[in-house]
Amino acid sequence: MTQTNQTPNPLLDLATLPRYDAIRPEHVNPALDVLLEEARKAVAAAEVIENPTWDTFVAPSEDVMERLGRAWGAVAHLESVVNTPELREVYNANIARISNFYSELGQNENLYARWKLLAASPDFASYNQTRKTIVEHAIRDFKLSGAELPDDQKERFMQIEERSSELTTKFAQNVLDATDAFALYVADENELRGLPADWKSAARSAAQADQQTGWKVTLKMPSYLPVMQFALSRSLREELYRNYVTRASEFGPTERDNTPLIAEIHALRQEGAQLLGFGNFSEESLATKMAESTTQVLGFLRDLAQRAKPYMQADRAEMEIWAKANLGYETLEAWDLAFVSERIREEKYSFSEQEVKQYFTEPTVLSGLFHVVETLYGLQFVPAEAPVWHKDVRFYRLQNKNGSEVGGLYLDLHAREGKQGGAWMNDVRGRRKLADGRVQTPVALIVCNFAQGVDGKPALLSHDDVITTFHEMGHALHHLLTEVDELSVSGISGVEWDAVELPSQFMENFCWEWQVLPKLTHHVDSGKPLPRELFDKMLAAKNFQSGSIMQRQLYFSIFDMELHGKTAATDPKAQAEAIQRELGIPLPPAYNRFPQSFSHIFAGGYAAGYYSYKWAEVLSADAYAAFEEEAEETGNVVDPAVGARFRAEILARGGSRPALESFKAFRGRAPEIDALLRHNGLAG
């Protein structure tokens, strides 16, 4: 085994869980040397098999490919949650190396020919649906990787893949660096009027940690969002807004400007799509999704936009009238929206987000979330020891009520320096049956960016934070509750991208159930659960400005699909403004550079796929309606019987069959849009 400083390389020791606490930048290159060599030998052996079968061709290469994928996945994860200059340097240096290996793999004509031989073999007819799906996906993916291209075009396609990997990584790093680089130290407490006490306590502690006086304000969500919602100082809100929406643009250091990266990423995606025979990148993206065409997707989005538009316009008119009457604002500016929205909500429904937040202490939210999951699916979360990447990270074993092992889950919930913003779930390893007959159980991780607790009290979550936690748990359960034994379609693997949000959005609904809320809440001072009176106010306000919220998501989705549907160079700012005009959304200030920090589509997996949030919400709302219908009969929305069906037909099946088939197996029919409109208050 390769050794570093006489210590076994932790990236080569993946028999159980990654040794996150032991992985160092100096381990990366030696580990990849070994793992890439192993993988190339496995490829060479597979290339010469004359009569490929599952046992001689598919299974043998899975071990080494998984070892490589898990090791690189651990490095990529650490780069996103405990970023250091040394780790970033070695990560960036190996992006091309990894990208080239997988590009070569995807274009290997000998392997492609053997997959096709396997599909044409007499054995194929006897395969179960899972194995047939794997073979069909493999052949499709070879085509999408350029396996059928002439040699000169293959070489160019590989160059495109390599450069794209470098650019998307750089895009995300620029956003992280621009976010981390900003700090405003406020000396006068009067500037912070309206902000809650726990925010000010955290801001003062942050300033002291930097050996500064006053209060530290940053662009990270736990700091930024409360300012936009609650700060009475209009000038403070404007300053933060301007810095937030110009991150990673020409208004900052040249080396962090994502503008040229967007242009190059777009051009490379279009060139690659056309090499593969698609008209544009949007068409290529849909080749592996549920949606059939860009026309279908854009029609779906614009239909929803037409439904949401009058609600959004009514929201805007109400805000403008209120702001003029109560604040004297002649013009409602972008940095006023969250503030005025919160004031109207408080006035209309007689509660504030800060009042609600006092009830959602982090330990109680997690306990209540675990209770919902355990009740629905007959599970248990058991705190356990595991190597972690930061002292705040927790690990749990997930098991069935009979004690049988299901998998493992890491939780990393708090914002900090060197950690990318946002929230996500990722897999650590997938479920598969090993050669000796044992089952490798899946492991997942959930990352969020909530504020830490202050003054010895537990962290307080907003109700939106609670919804986010449930959302990411839905993703994790999709991965953990799989019963598929073949790695490439178990858990979240092989699931169409526009269906992957179904289990996550589904879980959000439980955050609005009175049956659930008392178990999620425990007042930080009194210890009392959320009062029914306050819950009723929250429920009345549930769809407050839902038309505006939906129109914003549709704007992002249409921008993404339209941008990637254009083959010629395009000005993302002009494109964004054109769509905002179409949807009736007032334009932001001219300096707004939203696309430059739109990491979902320029650095994540959502390119020409952001629409999947709304597409999957149709599925998730309709799936949840099955629980609502049962509750009408039993009074129990957290119903184990319906939960068992959802687990068996949706969560357990992974990518082993089309998502639409899984939905129909659970619901007994095709999805309908009615529940989505009803849940969002747009049914009228």
pLDDT in tens, 39-67: 999 999 999 999 999 999 999 989 899 99
Note whether residue 484 is domain-resident.
Answer: yes
Give yes or no: residues 553 and 624 share one domain.
no
The residue out of 610, 629, 645 marking a domain boundary is: 610
Note whether residue 121 is domain-resident.
Answer: yes
Give the span between the Cα atoms of 4 and 24, in whole angstroms: 10
C-alpha torsion angle, residues 468, 472, 474, 480 (rounded to 10) = -160
SS3 for 177-224 is HHHHHCCEEECCHHHHCCCCHHHHHHHHHHHHHCCCCCEEECCCHHHH
Host domain of residue 70: 3-148
The residue out of 246, 263, 297 marking a domain boundary is: 246
Calculate ∠ Cα 582-584-586, nearest 5°.
Answer: 115
- C-alpha of 377 from chain center: 23
β 443-450/424-429 pair status: antiparallel
Q: How confident is the model at residue 684 (pLDDT cuts 50, 70, 90)?
A: low
Give yes or no: residues 482 and 576 share one domain.
no
Note whether residue 173 is domain-resident.
Answer: no
Note whether residue 164 is domain-resident.
Answer: no
DSSP string, 469-536: HHHHHHHHHHHHT----SGGGSTTTT--GGGTTHHHHHHHGGGG-TTTHHHH---TTT-PPPPHHHHH
Give yes or no: residues 312 and 231 share one domain.
no
Q: What is the CATH number of the domain that holds 565?
A: 1.10.1370.10
Q: What is the CATH number of the domain that holds 26?
A: 1.20.1050.40
Give yes or no: residues 506 and 431 share one domain.
yes
Sequence-separated contacts (24+) of 57-60 with Cβ below 8 Å: 57/114, 57/118, 58/118, 58/134, 59/435
Residues 6+ apart with CB under 8 A from 656: 129, 130, 133, 484, 486, 489, 490, 494
**Helices 572-583 and 546-565, axial angle in degrees (round to 10):** 140
Note whether residue 175 is domain-resident.
Answer: no
Residue 3 has pLDDT above 50, yes or no: no
How confident is the model over 266-309, as pLDDT tens digits? 999 999 999 999 999 999 999 999 999 999 999 999 999 999 99
Structure confidence at residue 387 (pLDDT): 96
How many Cβ atoms are within 10 Å of 8's Cβ, its own excluded? 14
320 tagged catalytic: no
Give yes or no: residues 64 and 138 share one domain.
yes
Q: What is the mean pLDDT of residues 462-480?
A: 98
How confident is the model over 433-460, as pLDDT tens digits? 998 899 999 999 999 999 999 889 999 9
Q: What are the helix and strand counts (H, E) for the chain?
A: 26, 11
Closest CA to 377 of 506, 270, 477: 477
Give the span between the Cα atoms of 291 and 640, in whole angstroms: 32
Structure confidence at residue 683 (pLDDT): 81
The residue out of 588, 610, 632 marking a domain boundary is: 610
Structure confidence at residue 6 (pLDDT): 61
Give yes or no: residues 223 and 187 share one domain.
yes
The catalytically annotated residue of 283, 472, 617, 649 is: 472
Give yes or no: residues 413 and 496 share one domain.
yes
pTM for this predicted structure: 0.93
Structure confidence at residue 1 (pLDDT): 36
Give yes or no: residues 41 and 120 share one domain.
yes
For the chain, the average pLDDT equals 96
Give yes or no: residues 439 and 308 share one domain.
no
Give yes or no: residues 525 and 642 share one domain.
yes
Residue 4 has pLDDT above 50, yes or no: no
Give yes or no: residues 646 and 502 share one domain.
yes
Give yes or no: residues 422 and 304 share one domain.
no
Q: What is the CATH number of the domain that holds 660?
A: 1.10.1370.40
Return the percentage of the chain with pLDDT > 90, whole number.
Answer: 96
Total domains in the chain come to: 4
Contact 383, 394 (CB under 8 A): yes
Note whether residue 154 is domain-resident.
Answer: no
- Write phi, then psi, for 443 (nearest 5 degrees): -135, 140
Note whether residue 176 is domain-resident.
Answer: no
Note whether residue 174 is domain-resident.
Answer: no
